[in-house]
Amino acid sequence: MEVSLAYNQRTACTTTLHESALDFAANLRRPPVRFSGQVKEPVLLRQLMVAMHEVVISDYTDPWRWMWVLDPVITVHPDEIFFECFSGDESVYARLSAPLDAFEPEGLVQYGTTNIDFTWALRSSLQRMRSSRRTTFAVGASGFGVATSGSGGGSHFERKVTLPETWLKGFLQVQSALALRPFTFDVRPADLLTMLAVFQDQKPPRPPHGLRYELRPGEPMRVLVEPWDTPVVFKDSSYEGYERTVRVWGRKRLDLLRGVLPYADRVTVGLFGRGLPHMYSCHCGPFRFTLVLSGWTKNDWATGSAFDQLAPRSPVSAEEMATVYACLVRRLVATRREIASDTGLPAGTVEHALFKLCRAGRVIADVEARRYRLRELFAEPLNLDTIFVPDPRTAVARQLVEDGQIQILQITPPEKNETGRRETRATALVTHNGVTHEALVAIDLDGRLRFGRCTCPAFRNNLMSRGPCEHLQAAHMQLERQLAAEPPVAASSADDEGAGR
């Protein structure tokens, strides 16, 4: 995909003895976006923007590929401004969020999304920002009159970026992953720095090189650093759910947080499951710096994460998606419950529509606030049918259901679930190519596949790190058919503020 970028100037950071001005040049190929305001904590913003630039240029597979990635995206909303970027190796996504009360706004505000010119020269100039100077931050509002040396300047310039298909898929998969609501918990920044120090001070002699989060009821949460199994206990934490172990990879990429953690008050960790992405949201004063890592470096988001196979399967029409989208156009930001109330659509339909809009790059999920925000990643809507090829396992699963090859043995409704989670569990026998496999699936109240287990070789080799096997998908489909025909008495629906924790 080719993306055209045009700017009427270079992004500039100019400085005098008493003032600094940070003026982001906005992409002229997008609808105009405008914001200007005085930064209340300029040094903190400087450090977080440098950390974001580290993500832009990071690449653990090809050190030169960052030169072809898309310029960072910035969105101005009535309550928040946020930057987004994606690494060149397609394995790291970062978002820097700033509430509007982190600024003293000045002049006209135009809401929307655009690309920004973010250069090496800008990064160098950021180092001159000081808390002792009045600092102005602006997007698409050039001309401050701070006439001094600094980065920026120059006339109109344009360039085209050819995005690899895998890079584009990866950025879109990030959005769909966040829409699935990971399990989240808060930890102290000092504990994460301790974890980083373990593998910085010791070179791993052999595989495995993962991180094992161990969560036991009534105990502090902890992580084991492989291969030494060195424990790092998250102090002041306590786990109240069912016992679980979640193994993830990405120790080297977590080093991208080293420059952020000293400024953080707390960090929200989000886990999707074994070998799946993991999220670290650093709360730094009024700002949030969120880092999301793919399952492992060479397992980019586009080849095997298969988040659509974990998503709700409630049918949603093009008209219903358009209704949900129109609601967000009016509101810009809303919870799922508010969208359902405004549109009159069932909660399950809204949930599935939001997932699809996130995957289309038109909406993003704010995991911690349980809200969805309008954000058009590109100027024109994408044709997802040409980007995401249907997974052949899903086609096999549908055929197994149509052929009557799934026998549901038992359904356990949420109120009888011994794990305490509000999930419906089912055990099933799935006959495929003359072989019968036993499958166990658990779906939450919104229809998302939260847990699965199968006796087939594909599951034994990969678990669900590459998405559910065709037998789990078939059991999921058959379970939803039976629940639709004879829905059990369900527990109260998970609200937008409490689900996923």
Fold of 318-387: Arc Repressor Mutant, subunit A (1.10.10)
Structure token digits, residue 113: 């999304």
DSSP 132-180: TSEEEEEES-------SSEEEE---EEEEEE--HHHHHHHHHHHHHHTT
Residue 494 has pLDDT above 70, yes or no: no
Asked if 295 and 276 touch (Cβ cutoff 8 Å), the reply is yes
Q: Which two tokens stand for residue 229?
A: 């199994």
**Structure confidence at residue 405 (pLDDT):** 95
Most confident of 282-291, 440-449, 454-463: 282-291
Q: Model pTM?
A: 0.83
Enumerate the CATH 3.10.150.10 domain ranges in the chain, comma separated: 176-307
Please provide the CATH number assigned to the domain covering 176-307.
3.10.150.10
Query: Identity (one letter) of the amino acid at 44?
Result: L
Residues listed for the chain: 501
Most confident segment among 105-109, 124-128, 213-217, 443-447: 213-217
Q: Determine how many CB atoms are found less than 10 A away from the CB of residue 132.
A: 10
With helix as H, strand as E and coil as C, how does 11-63 read?
A: EEEEECCCEEEEEECECCCCCCCEEEEEECCHHHHHHHHHHHHHHHHCCCCCC
- Residue 371, beta-bridge partner list: 366
154 band by pLDDT with thresholds 50, 70 and 90? low
How far apart are the C-alpha atoms of 271 and 276, rounded to whole Å?
8
3-state secondary structure of 340: helix
**Ranges in the chain annotated CATH 1.10.10.10:** 318-387
| Least confident segment among 15-24, 48-57, 161-170 | 161-170
d(C-alpha 139, C-alpha 142), whole Å = 8
User: Cα(91)–Cα(177) distance, rounded to whole angstroms?
Assistant: 13
CATH 3.10.450 fits 392-485, yes or no: yes
pLDDT at res. 373: 95
Residues paired with 104 in a beta bridge: 38
- What distance in Å separates the CA atoms of residue 133 and residue 14, rounded to the nearest whole number? 12
Residue 476's H or E segment, with its range, is helix 470-485
The secondary element (H helix, E strand) that includes residue 288 is: strand 287-293
Tokens representing residue 156 in the block: 């109109």
Cα–Cα dist 398/471, whole Å: 10
pLDDT for res 489: 47
Contacts of 106 (CB under 8 A, 6+ apart): 36, 37, 38, 136
Q: Predicted confidence band at 171 (pLDDT cuts at 50, 70, 90)?
A: confident
pLDDT digits (tens, 9 = 90+) for 178-194: 888 888 999 999 999 99
Residues of the chain with CATH 3.10.450: 392-485
Residue 280 has pLDDT above 50, yes or no: yes
**Nearest residue to 11 (alpha-carbon basis) of 1, 3, 23:** 23
Sign of the dihedral defined by the CA atoms of residues 176, 177, 183, 184, in that order = negative
